[in-house]
Amino acid sequence: MSETSEFSAQNLFNVKGFVAVVTGGGTGIGLMATQSLAANGAKVYITGRRMEALENAAKEHQPASGEGQIIPIGPCDVTKKDDLLRLAEAVGEKEKCIHLLVCAAGISGPKAEPEHTDAESLRSRLWDNEDVNDWQNNYQTNVTAVYFTTVAFLPLLQAAMRPKGQLEPYTSSVVTISSMSGIMRHAQGHFSYNTAKGATVHLTKLMSAEFQKAGIRVNSIAPGYFPSEMTAKESDERQKSHVPHEKIQEKGHVPLERPGREIEMGMSVLYLTKNQYVNGEIIAVDGGVLNVLAGR
């Protein structure tokens, strides 16, 4: 039985002593996850293709107090198995285990709005504005890389498991970053991206069922519109992006009429990190978009 003091936010979201790895941790949702973990006591290794961005993110957003820490490591291209293996080995040389892996690296891919009702015009629009290689690159980054990143870290994730009989049993955690776009039927002009994110959703469910045998939980956050390089097309000198409320209001399908707040993403990451009773779930953090646009 839990005492009332155990229900304090400080206790519920405390990740002191945790070790995490975040891909795509230098910007956007990866950086939001990193900040929330480090602010609550975790040692967070961030990786990505751009070492300069990782180092700048660590410098600009290092916790002012506490034991949390942001450590850039890499560079790493998550679409390359050799890079992932080197990354896992590098982390393994520094840490006995990791408690959390956040797969936040991703790309948006080509955009072609299916705005025509005439079939010839529709075909021309989609055929001329999309390329097979773009589809393959999208899937490779948003799905295949998530799988191989997770597989690369399975031994370090399992090493964090605390078996029965040793205080409270503990299972390590993987959080994939999918998207509301992988749940809805509205293409948004992003057929390849939405298809890939739909695959990320199903991959998460597959891994959650198979990897629980090894004591590893796998869940996914399906974000709506959050400020990132993907949505804003750029980031500032602190690796942060900005999306004006007006841009979200123009879409007409976001009930809150604003982008998601960074701390709202941070809350979601901490919840999935700490709650041992959640496995195989896809949590949409979308401001209610899926109440307006058809899901599946």
pLDDT score recorded for residue 234: 84
Cβ-based neighbours of 138, under 8 Å, separated by 6 or more: 107, 108, 109, 192, 193, 196
Overall size of the chain counted in residues? 296
- Whether 178 sits among the annotated catalytic residues: the reply is yes
Least confident of 73-82, 131-140, 168-177, 245-254: 168-177
270: enclosing H helix or E strand: helix 262-274
Q: Positive or negative CA dihedral for 209, 212, 214, 219? A: positive
Residue 2, amino acid: S
Residue 48 has pLDDT above 60, yes or no: yes
**pLDDT-above-70 percentage for the chain:** 97
**Which residue range(s) make up the domain with 158?**
4-292
Place of tokens 């180092």: 55
Confidence of residue 164 (pLDDT cuts 50, 70, 90): low
Q: Determine which one of 181, 193, 225, 240 is catalytic.
A: 193
**pLDDT at residue number 233:** 84
What pLDDT is attached to residue 1? 84
Average pLDDT, the chain: 94
pLDDT value at residue 41: 97
User: Would you place residue 14 in the very low, low, confident or very high pLDDT band (cuts 50, 70, 90)?
Assistant: very high
Residue 187: per-residue pLDDT: 87
In order of 24, 121, 203, 214, 284, the CA distances from 48 in angstroms are 5, 40, 21, 27, 25
Burial 212-232 (b: 16+ CB within 10 A, else e): eeebbbbbbbbbbbbbbbbbb
* Span 60-108, pLDDT tens digits: 999 998 899 999 999 999 999 999 999 999 999 999 999 999 999 999 8
How high is the pLDDT of residue 167? 58
Residue 138: predicted pLDDT: 95
CB-based contacts of 242, cutoff 8 Å, min separation 6: 227, 232, 236
Find out whether 239 and 27 touch, Cβ atoms under 8 Å. Answer: yes
Does pLDDT of 171 surpass 90? no
What's this model's pTM, rounded to 2 decimal places?
A: 0.94
If one compares 22 and 230, the residue with the highest pLDDT of the two is 22
Any idea what the CATH number is for the domain that residue 50 is in? Answer: 3.40.50.720
| pLDDT for residue 231 | 83
User: Cβ(103)–Cβ(175) under 8 Å?
Assistant: yes
Q: Quick check: is 197 catalytic? A: yes
The model's pLDDT over 111-141, given as tens digits with 9 standing for 90+, comes to: 778 888 899 999 998 998 889 999 999 999 9
Residue 114, pLDDT score: 84
In percent, how much of the chain has pLDDT > 90?
83
Sign (positive/negative) of CA torsion 67, 73, 77, 81?
negative
Mean of the pLDDT values across residues 290-294? 92
Predicted confidence at residue 50, as pLDDT, reads 96
State the amino acid at position 53 in one-letter form: A
Q: Which residue has the higher pLDDT, 295 or 133?
A: 133
CA triple 146-149-155, angle to 5 deg: 135
Q: What are phi and psi of 130, to 5 degrees?
A: -130, 150
178, 208, 228, 268: the active-site residue = 178
Using only C-alpha atoms, what is the Rg of the chain?
19
Annotated catalytic residue, options 45, 179, 181, 197: 197
Q: Give residue-wise pLDDT tens across range 179-223.
A: 999 999 988 888 999 999 999 999 999 999 999 999 999 999 999
Q: What domain count does the chain have?
A: 1
